Amino acid sequence: MAALSTCPPLTRESVQTAHKRIKPYIHVTPVVTCETINTIANTAQKDRDASVNPPPEDKSSSSENFTAKPKVRLFFKCENQQRIGAFKARGAFHALGRLIDEEGIESVRQKGVVTHSSGNHAQALALAAKTHHVPAHIVMPSISTPSKIAGTQSHGANVIFSGSTSVEREAVVDEVIKKTGATLVPPYDHPDIILGQGTQALELEDQVVEILSHDASLGIRRKTRLDAVVAPVGGGGMLSGICTAMHGTGIKVFGAEPNFEGANDAELGLKFGQRVERVSTLTIADGLRTPVGEIPWTILSNPEKLAGVFSVSEEEIKAALRLAMERAKLFIEPSAAVPLAVILYNEEFRKLVEREAGPEGWNVGVVLSGGNTTVEAIARLFQTVH
């Protein structure tokens, strides 16, 4: 990667510059809405029609406690329609472009690049490397989704398999670097990655203004801008990038995590005031199995930049995934359903919004981080055991 000492500062202006750099290589992904899901989100959990919004199987039976009725209008940023099917293309193209600027294209092509990823960053770096004719070595857990492995290989990358934990992945990366001299392009823990990932927030901000301006032209009176963004957090590259892009705008940013087997390391880290360095979880949200990186943590631990992190169960993720697919017709992977699950089912978050947004409500951007899964994998999630 480009040397840390030469990286642009982590500011909104740097995200804007990053957007200009990568725009020729990425899609400006659409923003969509769904009135059915808005209605469900604005209804207290205890009052919802089970035929429209089946409750998660592990929801507490004391439904009388789930009384929050926040007023929100949701705007889904469809990074599932980004190149390679996930937001990771943004960070990969920005990081590789910066590396080429610093070291020269011939030097980068001679050494190649290496990374570790469960799938989305793997595919993103493989695509960016192919675009610039750079050799790419990708370390992937052997339990990665087959479609993500195939996608990475389809871009000509050398895929090397490892164990599923970050420690196991990094050990294999070290071996590759010793053998090839390849330059590490980390999946999240670098300013160039963070700045690239933050570019989606700039698009989301402008797209929501455009949608609301259209509403105003039709005589529909609503607030004319975003109030908040909810995005998944794994290694923290995307969430810290969004925090960086939104800092100073008045738009609140929240993180969303699975809580299965300690996958909610960001939430726990904020609670206890210390970054969690190791995570070992097999949550269905496979893109969120990694701990928050050191550099993202410096941003996410700043309450002036991140308003909070909230977590949800596996069943709540599955319920949100079903709603996104059946009601909004959005084909996404489980990791991408986590923010919607927080908005629909995390009562602490819902009470916060009810309290802070008031009767006027909030316009909330929901980042759908990716769609790299298969029909077979989705079917397995919902199959009934008899």
Catalytic positions: 88, 118
Token pair, residue 163, equals 């164990």
Angstrom CA distances, 344 to 41, 48, 297, 335, stand at: 5, 11, 26, 15
Residues 6+ apart with CB under 8 A from 308: 254, 255, 270, 349, 352
The rounded radius of gyration (Å) of the Cα atoms in the chain is: 20
Distance of CA 118 to the CA centre of its chain: 14
Task: Give the whole-angstrom CA distance, residue 86 versus residue 119.
Answer: 10
Residues 6+ apart with CB under 8 A from 283: 258, 260, 261, 263, 289, 314
Angstrom CA distances, 106 to 102, 111, 183, 218, stand at: 11, 9, 13, 55
Token pair, residue 267, equals 């939430």
